[in-house]
Amino acid sequence: MSESATGSVTNGELRRPAPGRAVDGVVRSEDMVKIEPIAPDGRTRGRNAISPLQIPWSGWKDILTRMVAEIRQDNLDMVAAGVTYYAVLAVAPALVALVSLYGLFAAPEDLALVLEPLFELVPPGAGRDLIVELLDRAVETRPSSLTFKAVIALALSLWSANRGTKALVAAVGLAYEQEERPGILRENFKSLVFLIGGIGVLAASALTFVELPEQLTGSLIGNGLARALYWARWPATFLAILFGLSALYRWGPERRQARWRWVSLGSVVATLLWLAVGYALSLYVEVVGEARTGHEALDAVIGLLLWFYATSWAILLGAELNAEVEHQTMRDSTIGVPRPMGKRGAYVADHLGPTRREHRLERKAQRKLQREARSGDDDVVDEVEEAVDAARVEAASSGSTCTAQAV
């Protein structure tokens, strides 16, 4: 059987001639290679988008609708609270262990000066003064050598921080609908890598806030360039955090890695939200500081909790956004050679997310099913389950079902 060299539709699948197989404009059907079908509404909802920038507003409505539903379904606030718990639990032991280890090589009294650039990343309303006070107390009560107490503090801080990191990585995987978890050794190794990488990103960001003497900067690079570098520290911090979040979204879930373009948008949104929350906490401190209610210590603890919680929530929100954006397109969003849907090793890449209409019909049928289930009538429940399936079929026939069409 021969086909036109421009392509054909066979058994509902669009096929295109393999490169170099056309002879006099005619190729055999066995020489045709299968390509991905295009949804009928691909031009209106971004079903054929190869990057988030190609998704139109109608597609973003679908994405935001699913995103709100997934935030509630995945209990994003509860997961963020769990990560916050482990983060706060690790603060004090980490400071004790840090003082003890630093004291082996230098004067512990200088540690506050070394960490001062890192404290610049913590908003004033997020417990910066509380952390500095805990550090001062750890320096005052430090032992003269590395003791068993310091070793226990180091182990406790690593355990708590690692638990928080594991919870965060697992939550990111849940946002991508990847519920399977790796083995214990692989899970702990991955969380430790992300923990060390996160500390490295924060340290690299903190280095941008180190102020060198004016004589040194003026003689080496000039005053003009020194001022430019001074104002460039915030963009540098933004890029460092952006890269760290993108790495978490790409390598965190147990799935085939997504391309960088499909994890960048959520990283930008999460970073901007994190910076906005820090600024809001700073304004809160200014307002409360003027009032002087006499509960400064309590305000510092609350601010630290809020900052950790907002940080965790922003990271998870970025993961939900990335997942639903990737869920919108039928194009292969994973690395490597393009694969057909169902063979990409990633749930959101292997399935199309429902449109707003599909989601609304399915939610309506599910609510009816829940009401009837509470009534205890099995016959009615069976009828409602059939109605749910019918609603899904009706929604699928509305135009988002993948059918083969020419590009």
Q: Over 70: is that where the pLDDT of 83 sits? A: yes
Query: Which band of pLDDT confidence, cut at 50, 70 and 90, is reported for residue 217?
Result: very low
348 found inside a domain: no
DSSP lists the bridge partners of residue 23 as 26
**Dihedral (C-alpha) 164, 309, 117, 92: value to the nearest 10 degrees?**
-50
Bigger pLDDT: 240 vs 228: 240
Angle, helices 184-207 vs 111-119, to 10°: value is 90
Question: How is 30-65 classified by DSSP, letter by letter?
Answer: GGEEE---B-TTHHHH-TT-SSGGG--HHHHHHHHH
Residues 6+ apart with CB under 8 A from 246: 260, 263, 264, 267
Write down the pLDDT at residue 365. Answer: 81
Helices and strands per DSSP (H, E), number in the chain: 15, 5
In angstroms, rounded to a whole number, what is the distance separating the alpha carbons of residues 396 and 390? 10
Q: What is the mean pLDDT of residues 57-85?
A: 91
Query: Which band of pLDDT confidence, cut at 50, 70 and 90, is reported for residue 136?
Result: confident
CA 192, 195, 201, 205 dihedral sign is: negative
Write down the pLDDT at residue 38. Answer: 47
187 found inside a domain: yes
Write down the pLDDT at residue 340. Answer: 92
373 found inside a domain: no
360 found inside a domain: no
Query: Which band of pLDDT confidence, cut at 50, 70 and 90, is reported for residue 160?
Result: confident
Phi, psi (deg, nearest 5) at residue 181 = -120, 150
Residue span of the structural domain in which 190 resides = 75-328
Question: How is 77-91 classified by DSSP, letter by letter?
Answer: HHHHHHHHHHHHHHH
The angle formed by the CA atoms of residues 384, 389 and 390, to the nearest 5 degrees, is 90
Write down the pLDDT at residue 182. Answer: 79
Query: Which band of pLDDT confidence, cut at 50, 70 and 90, is reported for residue 137?
Result: confident
pLDDT digits (tens, 9 = 90+) for 5-17: 434 444 434 444 4
382 found inside a domain: no
Phi, psi (deg, nearest 5) at residue 120 = -65, -25
352 found inside a domain: no
In angstroms, rounded to a whole number, what is the distance separating the alpha carbons of residues 11 and 7? 13
Q: Which of 73-77, 83-87, 344-348, 387-391 has the lowest mean pLDDT?
A: 387-391
Residue with tokens 């000039």: 222
Percentage of the residues of the chain whose pLDDT score is greater than 70? 62
397 found inside a domain: no
Nearest to 309 by CA among 105, 30, 83, 156: 83
Tokens of 306: 């809020």
Contact 391, 364 (CB under 8 A): yes
Contact 8, 32 (CB under 8 A): yes
Total domain count for the chain?
A: 1
Percentage of the residues of the chain whose pLDDT score is greater than 90? 24
347 found inside a domain: no
